[in-house]
Chain A
Amino acid sequence: MSKWNLSSASSKLNGEGELRAHENRTVQFQMINGQLVGNARSSNAGLSARIFQKGAWGFASVPEISASATDRVLKQAGTNASTLSKHVALFDRPMALANARGNKDYTTKNRKLSSQDIIQFMNGLDAKMKAKFPDLKSRTLMVYEQDFEKEVLTTGGALCYSMLARSYVRVYMSLDSDNGPVDVQQIFGGIGQIEDNLPSETEVDRKLEEAYRHLKNKAKGVAPQAGMKEVIMDSKLAGILAHEAIGHTTEADLVMGGSVAGDYLGQQVASPLVTLVDFAHTALNQTCPLPVFFDDEGIEAQDTVIIENGVLKNYMHSRESAARFGHKATGHARAWGFNDEPLIRMRNTAILPGQDRLEDMIASVEDGYYLLDHGNGQADSTSEFMFGVTLGYEIKNGKLGRALLDTTISGIAFDMLKTVTQVSNEMTWVSSGTCGKKQPMTVGMGGPAIKCQVNLGGR
């Protein structure tokens, strides 16, 4: 339930625009080799207004949420829009009516944990790792939570309150090897506050054993051969592929900025096995990892099918870009902090699962690689993508071989997706990453395993 009651300001909001009360909160703990080195909390709150006049937007924000702050931000945003409108061409095509209404609250219903409770959990987890895996060179644990509480009021009648939270436990472990230190990570958590996401002992045991097994293999790992290779990208990589390689190129602001996807609408850009959707809040009958029910322009969030059976179908839009393209606005405009304006952002982007079994896919590769986990990633207007690969194995004659040292893969997405020959029948989501585009943003990424050709960095 909103503590700000923005609806009382509706009579002050004239013309085309929105008012947003917004507070971000974080909690973060870090432990290295049993020593607590990070113990921090933060809160950042304020009010913003954005006004549209004759083709120009004016925005203003202050670190205060009150009736007088409302007057100040509305006045300044209006002045800014009016000033800038003298330097732009008139744009008066009507934008979608922003009239979503709703209330979504992910505040935990469990007993709130104190800092002491969380540090105790971390001490237990660290002690367990030290005892079970005594040869580790280093153990790093992070527990963190991000809360995003917002209320949006628009001239179209939207009034949307949300308190979305995500929280994670990240575990990094490293070993010495002939190639220097090698490391792997394991992540627990997702939507909700820390109280909802601390993993059970069984889950911890299972996932840490698995991570340690990979780490031991990686300590004896080899660099892959550089160049074009046949690979099986496991689901986590398919997720980042969906986000980085395709998703960004189909954001309408990047399309207007020259993205190659601007030339491909309605064309075959991928194998017919590939369907890619940016889900709003529910995917395949399950709640998405980071559900978005309405955006920060007050538009109800709806799924956007980007590629259907290999054909590029849609871009992602703000209200303004949708009006410029003559397309439908489906709720992609989101802002990170109270002093940020809404930008076109992905929500939960995924390649849909297919019909193949992962084991059969691996067995079908004569000489290639099975890529399991990723680090950072980057997109380009050409659709050339790059992601770090932090875990992978050789495939020789259909069987998994030696582990790989960290590497990078790249390709031109709209070429590479045409090389997809198999898509697995299961999918997984990841949600702990943060997308960067002027502002940071929380995003979900999902997918099945896919078989395709990519360029590998290596020796």
Chain B
Amino acid sequence: MQDLNRVAEQALGALKKNGAGKAHVEIGFREVHELNVEAGRFTLLRTTVDQGVSMRAITDQKQASLSGNQFDEAVVGALAEQTVITAKAGAPDEAFDIAPLQAPKKFKSGPEEADLDLMTEQAEKFLGETKIRFPKIILEAVTVQFIQRHRVIANSNGVHFETSQNDFEYSAMFTAKDGKKTSSFNYTGTSTTDFATPMMKAAGMETLLEQSSAQVNSRSIEGKFVGDVIITPHCLPTFIGGLTNYLHVGSLLKGQSVYQDKLNQQIATKGFNLRARPLDERFSLPRYVMGDGHLSENIDIVQDGALKTFMLDQYGANKLKKTRAHADDSHHVIDTGDVALKDMIRSVKRGLLFCRFSNGSPAANGDVSGVAKNSFYIENGEIRFPVSECMVSGNIPQMFMNIRGISRESLNFGTSELPWMHVGDVTISGK
């Protein structure tokens, strides 16, 4: 690995020399050791190395961002020159800026070295156990990685942060097959620093394999009804993304966010808390520095149902004259509630255990529809059967106002921790 600080210094120097009034650079290095399984057997072992230099120049309040992956001094110099030329061709905007001076800091997380033997051993155990305990399952694709990442973030205001973060990451995608009967595919995965927990025991893997095995016998629901859904932790990110998307600069700048004027107002049922926790010790891969060069903090996005912040970076905050968020839109935590999952299921008169959503992009007003995948029909408090050809339609902002309960249990995915969430009044339609 080359000296990233030297490259950062060269890049900043070259940007200034070429006339950048303000300059921001991010230099990165990434090495990945990756074991791949296809159709239940090992197929590929990869070792990939990549690096990157990203530059942002502001001159006369005109901005451009260029990036490349070559570190030769001449190449970095040429990229800096092009960045400034491209910025000068841009349009001025008073909102363009770089992060202010903050005390330099170094951050480190995760193990030093890849442990290929441990990765292979854990993967072999998982393949073996799946074969014995879940004979209908075909492991379509399993990926086990050790990722080393180094970043230097610096700017012409004197910002200088270094991060070195390593972790193991794995995911499995699978389908169950019983004769000619096939389940929908499903997947899960997580990140870990010690890889001590068996793959079967993390990220809800075991439950999903069990559910998929049952889903070869799925059937459709007759007709259409308005009912409840219990959204599982695997399915929740779709809805969290649907909510936070309205808090970003793109949606707000167009003036079409449903939460445009809702700061400190109720946007979800009381008791609902959504947080961004980039520094949370529960997570194996913290995010110490934000994309725009500010240090991250743990923040509350929605507290007791009220919107506490827009997810604006420095540009968005300047442009919209609002307060910037002190975390990127990641590392989500939804606080657990006081209902046991089994009691939550018991409380549903008619609805779905909603495990995966294959949905269209939500409309600007939040309307969303799609297919409930890997899901189960619930009637009178009991899970009845796995469903197929079942559509769910609703409105994301309204769904957050219709939360009936949040489970005591939750799942940790390495960079998020989420519970089960009971939502009322969605349209569920079968054939």
Contacts and interface: CB of A to CB of B under 8 A. Distances in A.
A42 B45 contact: no
A43 B365 contact: no
A258 B176 contact: yes
A400 interface: no
Interface stretch (A269-277, A293-301, A402-410): A402-410
Interface in A234-273: 253-254, 256-260, 263
Given A226-B393, A257-B38, A179 B360 contact: no
Contacts of A32: 250, 253-254
B46 A42 contact: no
A386 B360 contact: yes
Interface stretch (B103-111, B157-165, B181-189, B345-353): B181-189
A378 interface: yes
A374 to B, nearest CB: 8
A391 to B, nearest CB: 12
Interface string B54-78: 0000000001111111100000000
Interface stretch (A3-11, A200-208, A451-459): A451-459
Nearest to A35: B93
Q: How large is the interface on B (under 10, 10 to 19, 20 to 34, 35 or more residues)?
A: 35 or more
Contacts of B253: 32-33, 35, 37
A93 interface: no
B49 A61 contact: yes
A36 interface: yes
B342 interface: no
A398 to B, nearest CB: 25
B18 to A, nearest CB: 15
Q: Dominant SS at the B interface?
A: strand
Given A36-B91, A87-B124, A180-B366, A387 B360 contact: yes
Interface string B417-431: 000000000010101
Nearest to B90: A39
Interface residues of A, number: 84
Contacts of A87: 42, 120, 124
Nearest to A337: B50
Between A260, A382, A405, the greatest number of chain B beta carbons within 10 A of the residue's beta carbon is seen for: A382
Interface in B261-307: none
A378 B358 contact: yes
Given A33-B254, A59-B47, A376-B360, A410 B370 contact: yes
A181 B364 contact: yes
Between A41, A61, A389, the greatest number of chain B beta carbons within 10 A of the residue's beta carbon is seen for: A41
A341 interface: yes
Interface in B127-170: 138, 140-141, 143
A260 to B, nearest CB: 5
B86 A382 contact: no
Interface in A364-387: 375-376, 378, 380-382, 384, 386-387
A2 interface: no
Given A57-B45, A226-B429, A405-B363, A115 B89 contact: yes
A140 B254 contact: yes
B256 interface: yes
13 contacts: A33-B253, A36-B90, A39-B63, A56-B42, A59-B46, A137-B255, A138-B256, A140-B254, A174-B254, A258-B177, A260-B180, A388-B359, A438-B143
Interface of B: 35, 38-39, 41-52, 63-70, 82, 85-87, 89-91, 93, 116, 120, 124, 138, 140-141, 143, 173-177, 180, 182-185, 223-224, 250, 253-256, 258, 315, 358-367, 369-371, 373, 388-389, 391-393, 427, 429, 431
Given A88-B42, A114-B89, A226-B391, 19 more contacts: A35-B253, A40-B65, A42-B67, A45-B69, A46-B50, A60-B48, A63-B49, A77-B47, A87-B124, A119-B91, A223-B367, A227-B431, A257-B39, A339-B48, A384-B388, A386-B370, A405-B363, A406-B360, A412-B388
Interface of A: 32-33, 35-37, 39-46, 48, 56-64, 76-77, 80-81, 83-84, 87-89, 114-116, 119, 123, 137-138, 140, 174, 179-183, 223, 226-228, 253-254, 256-260, 263, 339, 341, 375-376, 378, 380-382, 384, 386-389, 405-408, 410-412, 438, 455-459
